[in-house]
Amino acid sequence: MAIEKKIEEEKITTLLEDLDSLESYIRDLFNFLPLPVFLLSPVKIILEVNPAFEQITDYKIEEVIGRSIEGIFNPEEIESLIQETIEKGSVKVKEMVLSTKTGEKIPVSASTVLRKSEEGDIVGYFFSLFNLTDIKKKENELINTQKSLLNILEDTEEARKAIEEEKNKTQSIVNNFTDGLLLFNQQGKLSLVNPQVEKLFGIKQDQIIGFSVEELASLPGFIPLVELLGGEIKEAFRKEIIVKDNLNLEVSTVSMVSDGQKAETLVILHDITREKIIEKMKTEFVSLAAHQLRTPLSAIKWTLRMLLDGDLGRITQEQREFIDKSYISNERMINLINDLLDVTRIEEGRYLYKPVLSDIAEITEFVVKSYQELIKRKKIKFDLKKPAGKMPKVLVDVEKIRLAIENLLNNAIRYTPVGGKVVISLSSKDKEVQFSVQDSGAGIPEDQQERIFTKFFRATNAVRIETEGSGLGLFITKNIIEAHDGKIWFKSEVDKGSTFYFTLPVE
């Protein structure tokens, strides 16, 4: 019996020893666990915590054992978690917020297991926590990264839309442009054609896209354009070509330079057929009008001239005087028509046509000679000042320059009173010759000086002195001088006189 008891006792001792070492094992494990773990009683009193728990909450073991968990977790949250644990026996990873001793909020994920006695009564709950701070931080970083990625994507999308819009705009401009547009790429191949080109040449763009200039020559109507551009697509600015009857085009090219290298060439075709027809009509009209107006005047002129020259028999002195005056009136009419024709030609841009190397002094002397009589009649003190030696020659249309000088001299004499003074001066310096004519006449009122070169303008005092006058002389003169790359200007004072100057470049 005693032996049995002893054996029993030994067994118990062994069991107790085992239990001790198991307990120590569990305690070690409990202490070692890096996850915060704690045990809660059914009434939410903290029964046990491990060092990891101390660490996360900043509470010492002795401060928390026996305390309610509600200071550490939100009471409602913990209640709901406990209810779920009771229902399911365990809960895995439930996100909660833990308040530390210092009041810091730490996001954690909690897992729970229900502890029951052998009788099935609830004796408590095991909690294990996982600190989510780092994960949350990472998550936030991830969210931010994602956000910025989305932003970038959005920007890209906006940029794409803007480009798309820009492209549509450009496309719409190209398509609706009234001029024909041909774009040749760097390799000289046609890469873009607008509908206007299709209309002008009666082709479809698929027929010519990818063609070089030379290849275009195989298509009807393109030959004049190809001849103008040449294989290397020469520079052109408003060059006129005739594609066929009633189709005149003005061709311009634009080189699109990128990084200093010629990249693409845009060829612009402007339809000038209508302008050409109008121009032709205008020329024909002017020609006709000139003919119609001049025909009776030339008949009168020739008759009077031959009468004056005695070709048609002797006339009396009195008859001569009347005929002479008629002749002068007729000449005035002829001059007016000539002025109008000159203005028309100036406006057509084809007034100047035959420049030759000439001596400005010779031209001036020629004009002066034809005014000698008038100068004498008005008792004007006239002088022509010129350099002693030869003046450098100028490349001019002699007839036009003669007309310009005549207009200026005529004005000077006409608006200078009897007995006044007119001086022409010629000089040369720095690659130009200068002409000036000074008078002691009426002068130009200051408020009208700005308009003096305007077509049909006559100063008020000029009209008072002489009612006749087209108001075209100075307009024509200015155009003649500027067409020769010269300059024209004047100085004037009312009742003192005017000086008109012009310069012409020496070749």
Partner 1 sequence: MAKKITIMEDEELILNLLQKKLISEGYEISVARNGAEGLKLINEVKPDLILLDIIMPEKGGFEVLEEMQKTPDLKNIPVIIISNSGQPVEIDRAQKLGAKDWLIKTDFDPQEVVDKVKQQIG
Q: Which is nearer to partner 1, 303 or 434 (CB)?
A: 303
Q: Is 306 in the site for partner 1 (CB under 8 A)?
A: yes
Q: Which is nearer to partner 1, 32 or 366 (CB)?
A: 366
Q: Which is nearer to partner 1, 346 or 442 (CB)?
A: 346
Smallest separation, CB 180 to partner 1 (Å): 28
**52: number of Cβ within 10 Å:** 20
Q: Which is nearer to partner 1, 303 or 427 (CB)?
A: 303
Q: Is 303 in the site for partner 1 (CB under 8 A)?
A: yes
CA distances from 207 to 191, 194, 196, 199, 292 (A): 12, 13, 15, 13, 53
Smallest separation, CB 296 to partner 1 (Å): 9
Smallest separation, CB 181 to partner 1 (Å): 32
Q: Which is nearer to partner 1, 175 or 287 (CB)?
A: 287
Cα–Cα distance for residue pair 361/365, rounded to 1 Å: 6
Smallest separation, CB 308 to partner 1 (Å): 9
**Beta bridge mates, 253:** 267
Smallest separation, CB 278 to partner 1 (Å): 16
Q: Give the number of C-alpha atoms closer than 13 A to the C-alpha of residue 7, restricted to the C-beta side.
A: 4
Answer positive or negative: Cα dihedral of 149, 154, 160, 166. Answer: negative
Mark out the alpha helices in 310-397 (DSSP H runs): 317-348, 360-377
Binding range to partner 1, per CB under 8 A, among 238-246, 268-276, 302-310, 420-428: 302-310
Cα–Cα distance for residue pair 91/4, rounded to 1 Å: 48
Answer positive or negative: Cα dihedral of 338, 340, 343, 345. Answer: negative
Q: Which residues contact 118 (CB under 8 A, 6 or more apart)?
A: none
Smallest separation, CB 472 to partner 1 (Å): 16
Applying CB under 8 A, among 10, 20, 232, 311 the residue interacting with partner 1 is 311
Q: Which is nearer to partner 1, 90 or 329 (CB)?
A: 329
Cα–Cα distance for residue pair 174/192, rounded to 1 Å: 9
Applying CB under 8 A, among 94, 239, 301, 320 the residue interacting with partner 1 is 301
Q: Give the number of C-alpha atoms closer than 13 A to the C-alpha of residue 65, restricted to the C-beta side.
A: 8
CA distances from 453 to 294, 409, 449, 457, 458 (A): 27, 16, 9, 7, 9
Binding range to partner 1, per CB under 8 A, among 26-34, 79-87, 136-144, 306-314: 306-314
Smallest separation, CB 397 to partner 1 (Å): 11
Applying CB under 8 A, among 62, 87, 309, 495 the residue interacting with partner 1 is 309
Cα–Cα distance for residue pair 397/149, rounded to 1 Å: 75
Smallest separation, CB 343 to partner 1 (Å): 13
Q: Is 398 in the site for partner 1 (CB under 8 A)?
A: no
Q: Which is nearer to partner 1, 28 or 399 (CB)?
A: 399
Cα–Cα distance for residue pair 114/122, rounded to 1 Å: 7
Smallest separation, CB 299 to partner 1 (Å): 4
Q: Which is nearer to partner 1, 165 or 284 (CB)?
A: 284
- Per CB under 8 A, which of residues 154..173 are in contact with partner 1? none
Smallest separation, CB 302 to partner 1 (Å): 5
Q: Which is nearer to partner 1, 123 or 395 (CB)?
A: 395
Cα–Cα distance for residue pair 364/370, rounded to 1 Å: 10
- Per CB under 8 A, which of residues 331..360 are in contact with partner 1? 334, 337-338, 345, 350, 353
- Per CB under 8 A, which of residues 438..497 are in contact with partner 1? none
Q: Which is nearer to partner 1, 338 or 448 (CB)?
A: 338
Binding map of partner 1 across residues 136-155, x = CB under 8 A, - = no contact: --------------------
To 5 degrees, how large is the angle CA 61–CA 62–CA 67?
90
Smallest separation, CB 470 to partner 1 (Å): 15
100: left (phi over 0), alpha (psi -120 to 50) or beta: beta
- Per CB under 8 A, which of residues 239..298 are in contact with partner 1? 283, 286-287, 290-291, 293-295, 297-298
Length of the chain, please?
507
Classified as helix, coil or strand, 90 is strand
With 0-12 CB in 10 A as exposed, 13-18 as middle and 19+ as buried, what is 105? Answer: exposed
Contact 238, 212 (CB under 8 A): no
Q: Which residues are at the interface with partner 1 (CB under 8 A)?
A: 283, 286-287, 290-291, 293-295, 297-299, 301-303, 305-306, 309, 311-312, 334, 337-338, 345, 350, 353
